[in-house]
């Protein structure tokens, strides 16, 4: 795992904000401490929502899946091994919840959006540019197979290692590595094309 | 154009630019509201659902019904009068059957 891996940092040192480790919070949450569970949710909500959205596309479905995952994690906290990082354990539950939701409800896909680029002579403001880039990336992401979407987000956005992604997605490490590689190449092409637009 | 860190799936280097752009593209915002929603869901998850409650009461109901059936059976057994004992040989000889009495009466009335 890379030295600057944020996941390693957040799991091997007292977690950000409160100085309490994830394992300690998980232990308290398993004992019925609602505040401890709330802190875990606060810490991992952004990550869980992004991963669920990468898999499902639709933000509402993604939030539903992320919520299901947190509640499921609470029930399963007894099974969590506190000597191991909490993030990958939780992300596996998130990925499963998102995949289950997709299968169960045949979730409506986010409409694949055609990458839109600035047209005419007007220079859009920075906010509009960011929105357009976001739409272009989401559209490119939606064209990828589900597992590749999750893999690239887990690697490049959330900072997990290939080995951790393999465990989260339940695939061999080589498959995770390949998924990240191909997904990243497709997204990088979108990003480059967007940047090269006049 | 390919970057160095994209040239091989064995690379551990992360794509910082892609990471920032993807993170922004996927971020749903307002995580405080989401956290509140999860915690609210926690309360409703703790309350037993109607089918859980029903199945719990169904088990109690089946057990109670079994107790009632067994108790009823035992009570009916204890309240039933003892079966009439068969007549002794002497009673059978002295007391003629009812049918015989009818035949004698009919004969006398002729």
Contact A158/A51 with Cβ under 8 angstroms?
yes
Confidence band, pLDDT 50/70/90 cuts, at residue A91? very high
Give the pLDDT score at A118: 40
Stretch among A29-33, A100-104, A139-143 having the lowest mean pLDDT: A100-104
Global confidence as pTM: 0.67
What is the residue whose two structure tokens read 């977690």? A15
Q: Which secondary-structure segment (H or E) carries A87? A: helix A86-105
CA distance B8 to chain A (A): 7
Give the pLDDT score at B48: 55
Indicate whether A108 pLDDT > 70.
no
In a domain, A80, yes or no: yes
For A58, which DSSP code? -
Give the pLDDT score at A184: 93
In a domain, A119, yes or no: no
d(CA A182, CA A148): 8
B2-10 long-range contacts (CB < 8 A, ≥24 apart) are: B2/A185, B2/A188, B3/A188, B6/A181, B6/A184, B6/A185, B6/A188, B8/A181, B9/A177, B9/A178, B9/A180, B9/A181, B10/A177
Best of B10, B21, B42, B49 to mutate (most A CBs within 10 Å, chain A): B21
Q: Which secondary-structure segment (H or E) carries A65? A: helix A59-76
Contact B9/A141, CB-based, under 8 Å?
no
Pairs of residues, one from chain A and one from chain B, whose beta carbons lie less than 8 Å apart:
104
Give yes or no for A108 touching B (CB within 8 A).
no
Domains of chain A: total: 1
Give the pLDDT score at A146: 92
In a domain, A62, yes or no: yes
How many percent of chain B have pLDDT more than 70?
57
Give the pLDDT score at A196: 82
d(CA A144, CA A168): 18
Q: What is the CATH number of the domain that holds A167?
A: 1.10.1740.10
- Mean pLDDT over the full length of chain A: 83
Stretch among A26-35, A115-124, A144-153, A175-184 having the lowest mean pLDDT: A115-124
d(CA A26, CA A81): 10
In a domain, A11, yes or no: yes
In a domain, A178, yes or no: yes
Give the pLDDT score at A144: 95
Give the pLDDT score at A1: 36
- What proportions of chain A, in percent to the nearest 5, are helix, strand and coil? 70, 0, 30
In a domain, A1, yes or no: no
CB contacts, 8 Å: B45 with chain A: 71
Give the pLDDT score at B61: 83
Domain containing A163 equals: 6-112+124-196
Indicate whether A3 pLDDT > 60.
no
- Tens digit of each residue's pLDDT (9 = 90 or more) over A19-33: 889 999 999 999 989
What integer is the mean pLDDT of A142-156?
94
Give the pLDDT score at B75: 86
CB contacts, 8 Å: B12 with chain A: 1-2, 161-162
Give the pLDDT score at B28: 84
d(CA B25, CA B19): 10
In a domain, A34, yes or no: yes
CA A12 vs CA A7, A20, A22, A147: distances in Å: 8, 11, 9, 27
d(CA A15, CA A43): 9
- Tens digit of each residue's pLDDT (9 = 90 or more) over B10-27: 666 788 889 999 999 998
Each residue's pLDDT expressed in tens, for chain B with a length of 110 residues: 444 444 566 666 788 889 999 999 998 888 999 999 999 988 776 655 556 667 767 878 888 888 888 988 888 888 776 666 666 777 766 765 566 666 666 767 76
Indicate whether A10 pLDDT > 50.
no
d(CA A7, CA A86): 9
How many percent of chain A have pLDDT more than 90?
66
Task: Read off the tokens for A175.
Answer: 């498959």
In a domain, A101, yes or no: yes
Stretch among A53-67, A184-198, B75-89, B94-108 having the lowest mean pLDDT: B94-108
């Amino acid at each position: 795992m890379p030295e600057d891996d944020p996941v390693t940092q957040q799991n091997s040192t007292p977690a950000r904000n409160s100085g309490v480790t994830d394992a300690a919070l998980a232990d308290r949450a398993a004992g019925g401490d609602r505040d401890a569970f709330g802190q875990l949710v606060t810490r991992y909500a952004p990550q869980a929502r992004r991963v669920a959205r990468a898999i499902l596309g639709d933000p509402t479905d993604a939030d539903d899946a992320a919520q299901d995952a947190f509640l499921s994690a609470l029930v399963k906290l007894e099974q969590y091994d506190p000597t191991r990082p909490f993030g990958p354990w939780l992300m596996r539950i998130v990925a499963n919840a998102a995949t289950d939701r997709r299968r169960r409800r045949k979730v409506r896909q986010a409409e694949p959006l055609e990458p839109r680029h600035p047209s005419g002579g007007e220079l859009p403001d920075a906010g509009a540019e960011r929105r357009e880039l976001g739409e272009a990336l989401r559209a490119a992401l939606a064209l990828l197979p589900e597992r590749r979407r999750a893999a690239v987000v887990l690697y490049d956005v959330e900072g997990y290692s290939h080995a951790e992604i393999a465990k989260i997605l339940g695939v061999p490490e080589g498959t995770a590595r390949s998924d990240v590689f191909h997904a990243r190449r497709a997204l990088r092409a979108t990003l480059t094309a967007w940047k090269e637009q006049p | 154009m390919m970057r160095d860190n994209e040239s091989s799936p064995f690379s551990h280097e992360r794509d910082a630019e892609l990471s920032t752009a993807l993170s922004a593209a996927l971020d749903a915002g307002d995580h405080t509201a989401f956290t509140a929603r999860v915690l609210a869901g926690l309360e409703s998850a703790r309350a037993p659902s109607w089918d859980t409650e029903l199945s719990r009461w169904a088990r109690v109901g089946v057990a109670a019904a079994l107790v009632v059936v067994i108790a009823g059976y035992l009570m009916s057994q204890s309240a039933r009068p003892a079966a009439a004992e068969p007549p002794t040989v002497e009673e059978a000889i002295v007391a003629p059957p009812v049918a015989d009495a009818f035949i004698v009466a009919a004969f006398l009335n002729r």
